[in-house]
Structure 1
Amino acid sequence: MTADNPGEPGGSIEPDNPDNLFRYPNLYEPQELSKTVSRDIFYIGTDGKELAHSIHQEVHFKGAANLDLVTGNFVNLAEDGTVKDQDGAITWTPEQFEFAATEPLNGEDFEVVGYGKKGSEANVDITNGVVSSEVVTANSANKTITLTLKSKSNIISFASASDEKKQDDQSIEKEISVNQETEPVEDTVVTGHQTVHYVSENGTDLQPVTATHEVTFVKNGSSDKWDKKEDRYDDIVAPVINGYVVKTKVAVGKQVTPEDPDQDIVLTYYPVGKIIPVDAEGKAIAKGVQYQNDEKDPTKVLASQKAPGIVGWNPNQYSIMPLEATKDTKITYTKVPNKPETDDIDISLDDLKMVGLAGLKINKNN
């Protein structure tokens, strides 16, 4: 079977010869025995508009194979024409083809500022705009190469590619000329800052606002492209603020783009809990005392907190371990018993039967 006669299920192997009774198997699947592979090269300006006529290259491949009409398989034939094995395959003419390289562009008129490729492995020389030659087969994908140019003058031109191997149906443009006004374009610089706010849960500033390191984006005036699509600010280590704790030690720096370079980070702090002195009935006997902060960790208070001293009362425990840094803890206190009151009494010398002065005042407990 050939590209001119790929065959069809149940059809004659020689449609133009009614005397040939051999037919393709009913389960035969017709094969694609004619393929075209192309390569297109485009030239655009930095604004995305076509700057010059594109170059189109293509090659046609024709396939042929030996088909076993009994098994429906492709086969290899022996020298005498008999079936050698059932491992045949389609052979293509040409077996491979090489697309020619393009000619250099006029370096006085242009500057290549970028390129993109789809399906192609050709090299692009950005110093002169040459796209290298490239070998393809019938199984190759179509290829597209796009060069982005910046004009140095009003004319961009280049000669046709010399292509000794090209086929009659391979088309290459001869000359390109484009009128384009050019003006120097300055780079665009965008600088962003990350501002950190330290606030209480009601939004009150607890300490001065600070700005961390800045980021800078630069857009090339020629290519109109940014030097980077995004950047990220430094992480922020939360400071210890006495009387408050924060939920996280480190706030992750914000991701930013040239379109939105400035960012704010808000660290919200919460008041620490208190030790509340209470009596046996649970009634407060004094104002609460705030926990002491852990000076090494902005998210914690000290693991051991001392019970505050209260005149006339003794705590049932002299230290506590707060379960939560922002929750109050009650400590029960017991009142210290009063000493017995002192009464003055008058006794006579005879009553005490001791030597002394009549009417001497002494303590009754003595």
Structure 2
Amino acid sequence: MLTVPERFTAFRIHKNDKTITSGFEKISLDDLTAGEVVVKVAYSDINYKDALAATGKGRILRTYPLVGGIDLSGVVVSSEDSRFQTGDKVLVCGAQLSELYDGGYSEYARVKADSIVNLPIGMSLRDVMALGTAGYTAALAIQRMEDNGQIPERGPIVVTGATGGVGSFAINMLSNIGYEVIAYTGKTEQEPYLKALGASKLINRHDIEMGTKPLENAQWGGAIDNVGGDTLAWLTRTTNVWGNIASIGLAGGYKLESTVMPFILRGVSLLGINSVEMPLSVRTQGWKRLASDLKPTKLELISPTTIKFADLPQAFDAYVEGSVTGRTVVEIDASLD
């Protein structure tokens, strides 16, 4: 029988005046934010947002202190919601963990029932954290594009920020369901990696002349953009008739300087992707697809690294610096899998 000890280990983030500090602490269940379901955590992962939050390099948390980690998987210890029973294997991705609510960097978590998804059939607790928010966001982008009429026959899909988690998953998933995929990256030394995922070719972002016309030569059927800024504006000008652009990231800037001409004269659609706030039905459907037609065939290539919980603090700087290729899974209690 699963029980919660009086005190357990969590990686917690504090703000003292303007200084952010973080580290391991012993806390109790009463220290955690409210939720209907208590989970013994098996795995979490590291996302860019996690690194920004833990190091204080980005304003991610909206309240302090909080346990870090926007994703978790594990086993239900207790539940006040009839949808979940003790012993159920579950996952939570995003859902404002480590923003408004305590997250997955803890031996035990207390979460809201509406944020929980049952572990999909055919996937392990580690598998879903190897995917994490990055994999789910890529799947959501593809789903929204398809709902808006995207099909392989309309031309290749360009994926920017291609070596990142979302970009890597998007390339592999799109390739697996019949799309030609073009990887847009400044890390051309990663060509073997990107082609192994399914990219047909690479575009070196440093070689691009984006032009200044309201409409440039149409080059692709659609795009998944992790960059934003000038890159997103360029994509609006170069996407073909009735193409969809899924906008996910803003590493290149949050401003969008464009005209209405791509949207009016070519019917281009700009789809905003928010993987945090959505109905449970949408979350569940997304994970069903991740366990079926969108299941990555290169999961271990994209998420090759597993670290122990104790090694977590040393892993963040590489994410902030952008020197990481591939995702990292955080092992908290592998015996639950």
TM-score under structure 2 length normalisation: 0.19
Pair member with larger Rg: 1
Higher RCO (Cα < 8 Å, 6 or more apart):
2
TM-score under structure 1 length normalisation: 0.18
Task: Considering fraction of residues, name the structure with more helix.
Answer: 2
